[in-house]
């Protein structure tokens, strides 16, 4: 496993991977920011590689806030590579794009044969009482031999159509790849999207971060890849 | 190919709602949107949002599929790229069911065309439209305009059944959307690679599509 995180300039804080636990079943690593993130000019790159048959769990001690950037912008790029039969469980905390922030957030995932992923994300547009910041988000998932499994781009900002997110301020998602979520999970509370390949995406559009994250769906996602 | 027919006449035929391709069963997602509170004043915004998101994906897929048909490249990669960009199983199922209805008609209209004959069962609507475009000698930009225009008119005609609107007002919204259709068509027309197909998602439209697929209280199938 490697997780490497850097900011653009040397005087900006980095995100440091800290090993929390490790045994035969796998490792738990916490992604610890060493200072205030995310400011204009920050370019975060998080590379995660899980080796053949290995299991990694990533946790975050707190959410991330992209602060107002006064015309500047910041980027947050995640690259996940899962070797054959590798498993990654990543319980992301809310990512808040404050009014006046402008963030490019990209996630690229490559799965080897038999690899599995459970990924939780919550994006919140604006702090309480604020208008949304600008977010350009992309998700690009490929399976063995580079076959595309899921590709999605989302551009949201203060002038976006209300119909894009139905007026929601928070978009929560739980993505399971390599397996499908058990029948019935996510029905009723959120939107369950059954991918063409092996995978399920459950989304919650909500007014706030808390209702956008479903503990039951996340628990089912963890079970699906265990 | 039927090269003796002018392209604009063929386009009229393909864009005509009287072509028996079950277009009247479709609302392009407007029905669940209205069920969930979309107002008459938001229909034009809804049309524009689709042209920037799900319809953009479909138009680009059709253009790339047309390139593959004309170059003799396999269509599987195009279908897979489209499916990866269409996370909603309900939207994929709708596209494939519309493709089946269209295929029945086009097999009757162009029975000897090799692109039409080569279509595998279960492909998406964009791929069937690409084969039809090849059969008729349509340019990529014309195919993309067809996809965009058809989506706008599908929303517009469904709007008249779902909301108390003046048909002339709705026609004006269609006219207003034509520059958006043209912009979309010009943007996607040069695309040739499956990986270059845009992936612009619309989370609320996808959520409405899924909820609509699970209900029996509806006028339109999607």
A198/B contact by beta carbon, under 8 A: no
Task: Determine contact, residues A176/A117, Cβ cutoff 8 Å.
Answer: yes
What is the nearest CA distance from B124 to chain A, expressed in angstroms? 13
Taking only the tens place, the pLDDT of each residue in B111-146 is 999 999 999 889 999 999 999 999 999 999 999 999
Kindly determine whether residue B200 and residue A155, on different chains, have CB atoms separated by under 8 Å.
yes
For residue A175, give every residue at least 6 positions away whose Cβ sits within 8 Å of its Cβ, in sequence order, or none. A117, A118, A119, A120, A121, A150, A199, A200, A201, A221
Please report the sign of the dihedral spanned by the C-alpha atoms of residue A59, residue A139, residue A169, residue B29: negative
A195/B contact by beta carbon, under 8 A: yes
Residue A198 lies in a domain: no
Q: What is the span of the domain harbouring residue A103?
A: 2-167
Nearest by CB to B84, from A149, A155, A192: name it: A149
Taking only the tens place, the pLDDT of each residue in A162-220 is 999 999 999 999 999 999 999 988 887 899 999 999 999 999 999 988 888 899 999 99
Taking only the tens place, the pLDDT of each residue in B63-78 is 999 999 999 999 999 9
Q: What structural domains does chain B harbor?
A: 7-16+26-209 (1.10.4190)
pLDDT of residue B121: 87
* Percent of the residues in chain A that have a pLDDT greater than 70, as a whole number: 94
For residue B112, give every residue at least 6 positions away whose Cβ sits within 8 Å of its Cβ, in sequence order, or none. none
Residue A217 lies in a domain: no
Q: Which helix (H) or strand (E) holds A193?
A: strand A191-194
Cis peptide, bond prior to residue A38, ω within 30 of zero: yes
Q: For residue A10, what pLDDT band results from cuts at 50, 70 and 90?
A: low
Average confidence score pLDDT of chain B: 95
Contacts B88 to A, Cβ<8 Å? 193
Contacts A203 to B, Cβ<8 Å? 203, 206-207
What is the nearest CA distance from B6 to chain A, expressed in angstroms? 37
pLDDT of residue A24: 86
Residue A7 has pLDDT above 60, yes or no: no
Residue A214 lies in a domain: no
B137/A contact by beta carbon, under 8 A: no
> Three-state SS string across A134-160, please?
EEEEEEEEECHHHCEEEEEEEEECCCC
What 8-state DSSP symbol labels residue A217? H
B80/A contact by beta carbon, under 8 A: yes
Task: Determine contact, residues A9/A62, Cβ cutoff 8 Å.
Answer: no
Cα distance between residue B99 and residue B128, in whole Å? 6
Total structural domains within chain A: 1
The β-bridge relationship of strands A134-142 and A102-111 is: parallel
Kindly determine whether residue A161 and residue B211, on different chains, have CB atoms separated by under 8 Å.
no
A165/B contact by beta carbon, under 8 A: yes
Mutate to test the interface with A, among B91, B93, B201 (most CBs of A within 10 A): B201
Residue A25 has pLDDT above 50, yes or no: yes
Cα distance between residue A170 and residue A168, in whole Å? 6
Residue B106 has pLDDT above 90, yes or no: yes
Cα distance between residue B52 and residue B101, in whole Å? 26
- Chain B residues 13-42 within an 8 A CB cutoff of chain A: 33, 36, 38, 42
Residue A150 has pLDDT above 60, yes or no: yes
Nearest CA among B170, B204, B20 for reference residue B98: B20
B151/A contact by beta carbon, under 8 A: no
Q: Look at A11-20, A169-178, B67-76, B169-178 and tell me which has the smallest mean pLDDT.
A: A11-20
Q: Which helix (H) or strand (E) holds A215?
A: helix A215-224
Residue A75 lies in a domain: yes
Residue of A nearest to B196 (CA): A151
Residue of B nearest to A193 (CA): B88
Taking only the tens place, the pLDDT of each residue in A84-133 is 999 999 999 999 999 999 999 999 999 999 999 999 999 999 999 999 99
What is the nearest CA distance from A66 to chain B, expressed in angstroms? 22
Mutate to test the interface with A, among B123, B204, B206 (most CBs of A within 10 A): B204
Average pLDDT over residues A9-37: 86
pLDDT of residue A6: 53
- Chain B residues 106-135 within an 8 A CB cutoff of chain A: none
Nearest by CB to B201, from A153, A161, A194: name it: A153
- DSSP bridge pairs for B82: none
pLDDT of residue A68: 97
Q: For residue B98, what pLDDT band results from cuts at 50, 70 and 90?
A: very high
Which pTM does this prediction carry? 0.95
B203/A contact by beta carbon, under 8 A: yes
Nearest by CB to B84, from A150, A153, A165: name it: A150
Higher model confidence: residue A32 or residue A8?
A: A32
Q: Look at A1-5, B172-176, B199-203 and tell me which has the smallest mean pLDDT.
A: A1-5
Taking only the tens place, the pLDDT of each residue in B151-165 is 999 999 999 999 999
Cα distance between residue B205 and residue B221, in whole Å? 15
Nearest CA among A105, A117, A211 for reference residue A155: A105
Residue A65 lies in a domain: yes
Nearest by CB to B87, from A166, A171, A201: name it: A201
Residue A219 lies in a domain: no
Q: Which two tokens stand for residue A10?
A: 């040397």
Q: For residue A9, what pLDDT band results from cuts at 50, 70 and 90?
A: low
Residue of A nearest to B57 (CA): A152
């Amino acid at each position: 496993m490697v997780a490497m995180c850097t900011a653009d300039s040397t005087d900006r804080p980095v995100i440091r991977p800290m090993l929390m636990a490790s045994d035969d079943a796998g490792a738990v690593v916490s992604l610890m920011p060493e200072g205030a993130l995310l400011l204009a000019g920050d370019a975060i790159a998080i590379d995660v590689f899980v080796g053949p048959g290995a299991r990694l769990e990533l946790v975050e001690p707190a959410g991330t806030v992209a602060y107002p950037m006064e015309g500047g912008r910041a980027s947050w790029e995640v690259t996940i590579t899962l070797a054959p039969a590798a498993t990654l469980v990543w319980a992301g905390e809310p990512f808040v794009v404050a009014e006046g922030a402008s963030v490019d957030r990209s996630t690229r995932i490559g799965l080897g044969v038999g690899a599995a992923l459970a990924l939780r994300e919550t994006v919140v547009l604006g702090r309480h009482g604020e208008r949304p910041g600008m977010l350009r988000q992309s998700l690009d998932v490929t399976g063995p031999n580079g076959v595309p499994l899921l590709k999605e781009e989302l551009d949201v900002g203060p002038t976006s159509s209300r119909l894009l997110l139905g007026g929601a301020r928070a978009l929560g998602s739980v993505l399971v790849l390599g397996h499908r979520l058990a029948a019935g999970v996510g029905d009723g509370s959120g939107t369950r999207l059954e991918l063409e390949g092996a995978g399920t995406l459950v989304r919650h559009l909500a007014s706030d971060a808390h209702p956008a994250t479903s503990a039951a769906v996340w628990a089912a996602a963890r079970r699906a890849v265990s | 190919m039927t090269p003796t027919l002018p392209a604009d006449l063929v386009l009229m035929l393909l864009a005509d709602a009287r072509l028996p391709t079950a277009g009247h069963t479709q609302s392009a997602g407007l029905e669940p949107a209205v069920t969930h509170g979309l107002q008459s004043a938001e229909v034009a915004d809804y049309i524009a949002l689709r042209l920037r998101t799900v319809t953009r994906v479909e138009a680009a897929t059709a253009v790339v599929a047309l390139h593959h048909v004309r170059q003799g490249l396999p269509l599987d990669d195009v279908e897979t790229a489209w499916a990866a960009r269409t996370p909603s199983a309900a939207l994929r199922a709708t596209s494939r069911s519309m493709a089946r209805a269209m295929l029945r008609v086009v097999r009757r209209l162009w029975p000897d065309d090799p692109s039409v004959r080569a279509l595998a069962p279960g492909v998406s609507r964009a791929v069937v439209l690409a084969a039809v475009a090849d059969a008729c000698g349509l340019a990529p930009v014309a195919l993309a305009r067809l996809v965009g225009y058809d989506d706008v008119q599908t929303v517009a005609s469904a709007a008249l059944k779902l909301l108390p609107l003046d048909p002339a007002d709705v026609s004006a919204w269609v006219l207003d959307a034509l520059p958006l259709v043209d912009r979309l068509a010009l943007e996607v027309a040069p695309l040739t690679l499956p990986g270059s197909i845009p992936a612009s998602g619309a989370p609320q439209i996808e959520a409405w599509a899924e909820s609509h697929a699970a209900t029996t209280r509806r006028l339109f199938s999607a």
